[in-house]
């Protein structure tokens, strides 16, 4: 739960307090407490909205990392992507449907209640959830409606990336409309105030940022199919740790290797010579310094299979962050050294 959640509870309490006092005059200052209670109930319904996403994802055997509540609502952190447009649609649509169902149920309850604090609270909860449900169906990322649009375009075109791009631009259009809303309010007989402008800018910035991030992610993923550990690994030469650095460089030059790997006595990679450390060492000292003194130690977590590619390769690197990895073939032989800077350069080139 983000710390901004507590801020928005306070803001909602301040906004709802006077309205509660107007609806239930005998509450006095407790109207703000009632406003805070309404904010908590509203975020419980937001949590149910996010739980619906999580349950749908789990139903498709997708791993759910966490549910986050924040200033503008919530987000469900799901590992990977849906494998089909139908799954994408289901995971996206259950959230707004949950909000609409909560709103409808609250509305039915509100009609049956007598005037008072409970009736006012339930009516407000009904209206808020109906608004949340409808707004989330706007066809633009990062809203659920954007994911629904993404699934529809993907299903028709059979191109996931096209669906994401269309939905992201839908989100950018929605962001512009949100920011422009206070300016157009007079056309509908409404008078905007500073709160309208502030909310419009916050919502517009949220939508634009989310849509832009979606475009960056899809560009990143489009470059992944060509990302193969074997192809990006720099040619390597394995040397014993006690070998002088100057001799190691000479042997590497003769072998056409671009990196040195330190081997243990039984031939297991135990370190990667740091090129930056080599460059920072005066040339007249290299004959006297063993390569082990200029290397970064690696263990099994710093070793990658040469067949790793795409998202599997990125996931393996994220599990064990490092600046360099030893790449080995399935038979255990050395393939090379994979530097994070080479991966970054490859992905940046693929996004252009």
Under a CB-based contact definition with an 8 Å cutoff, are residues 343 and 228 in contact? Answer: no
Q: What is the pLDDT of residue 4?
A: 62
Q: Which helix (H) or strand (E) element contains residue 260?
A: strand 259-263
CA pair distance 340, 276, nearest whole angstrom? 14
Kindly calculate the radius of gyration of the chain based on its CA atoms and give it in whole angstroms: 28
Q: What is the pLDDT of residue 151?
A: 96
The set of residues, in sequence order, having a beta carbon less than 8 Å from that of 241 and lying 6+ positions away, is 262, 263, 264, 270, 271, 290, 291, 292, 295
CA pair distance 143, 168, nearest whole angstrom? 10
The set of residues, in sequence order, having a beta carbon less than 8 Å from that of 187 and lying 6+ positions away, is none
> What is the Cα 339 distance to its own chain's centre?
24
Q: What is the pLDDT of residue 227?
A: 82
What's the order of all strands across the beta sheet hosting 259-263?
Answer: 236-240, 259-263, 269-273, 295-297
Phi/psi for 9 (5° steps) reads -60, -45
Q: What is the pLDDT of residue 5?
A: 64
Q: What is the pTM of this model?
A: 0.71
Write out residues in the chain with pLDDT < 50, as ranges.
none
Q: What is the pLDDT of residue 350?
A: 57
What's the per-residue H, E or C state across 310-326? HHHHHHHHHHCCCCEEE
Under a CB-based contact definition with an 8 Å cutoff, are residues 207 and 173 in contact? Answer: no
Q: For residues 287-312, b (16+ Cβ closer than 10 Å) or e, as one string?
A: eebbbbebbeebeeebbbbbebbeee
Q: Where are the alpha helices (DSSP H) in the chain?
A: 4-23, 30-59, 85-112, 117-135, 144-157, 160-184, 194-223, 229-232, 245-255, 275-280, 310-319, 340-351
DSSP-derived secondary structure for 320-349: S--SEEEEE-TTS-EEEEEEHHHHHHHHHH
CA pair distance 86, 314, nearest whole angstrom? 26
């Amino acid at each position: 739960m983000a710390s901004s959640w507590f801020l928005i509870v306070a803001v909602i309490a301040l906004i709802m307090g006077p309205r509660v006092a107007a609806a239930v005059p005998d509450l006095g200052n407790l109207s703000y407490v009632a406003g805070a209670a309404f904010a908590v109930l509203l975020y419980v319904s937001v949590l149910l909205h996010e739980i619906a996403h999580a349950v749908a994802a789990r139903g498709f055997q997708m791993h759910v990392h966490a549910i986050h509540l924040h200033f503008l609502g919530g987000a469900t952190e799901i590992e990977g992507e849906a494998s089909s447009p139908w799954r994408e649609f289901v995971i996206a649509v259950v959230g707004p449907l949950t909000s609409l169902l909560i709103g409808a149920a609250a509305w039915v309850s509100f009609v049956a209640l007598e005037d008072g604090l409970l009736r006012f609270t339930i009516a407000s909860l009904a209206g808020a959830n109906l608004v949340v449900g409808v707004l989330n169906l706007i066809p633009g990322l990062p809203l659920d409606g954007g994911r629904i649009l993404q699934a529809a375009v993907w299903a028709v075109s059979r191109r996931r990336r096209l669906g994401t791009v269309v939905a992201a631009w839908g989100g950018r259009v929605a962001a512009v409309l949100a920011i422009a809303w206070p300016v157009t309010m007079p056309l509908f007989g409404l008078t905007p105030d500073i709160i309208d402008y502030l909310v419009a800018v916050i919502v517009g910035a949220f939508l634009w940022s989310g849509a832009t991030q979606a475009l960056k992610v899809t560009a990143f993923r489009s470059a992944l199919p060509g990302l193969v550990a074997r192809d990006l690994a720099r040619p390597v030469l394995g040397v014993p740790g006690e070998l002088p650095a100057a001799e190691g460089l000479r042997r590497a030059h003769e072998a056409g290797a671009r990196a040195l790997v330190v081997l243990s006595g039984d031939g297991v990679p135990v370190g990667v010579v740091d090129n930056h450390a080599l460059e920072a060492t005066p040339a007249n000292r290299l004959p006297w310094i063993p390569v082990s003194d200029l290397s970064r130690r690696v263990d099994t977590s710093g070793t990658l299979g040469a067949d790793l590619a795409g998202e599997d390769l990125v996931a393996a690197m994220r599990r064990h962050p490092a600046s360099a990895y030893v790449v080995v073939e399935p038979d255990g032989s050395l393939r090379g050294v994979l530097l994070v800077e080479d991966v970054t350069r490859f992905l940046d080139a693929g996004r252009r």
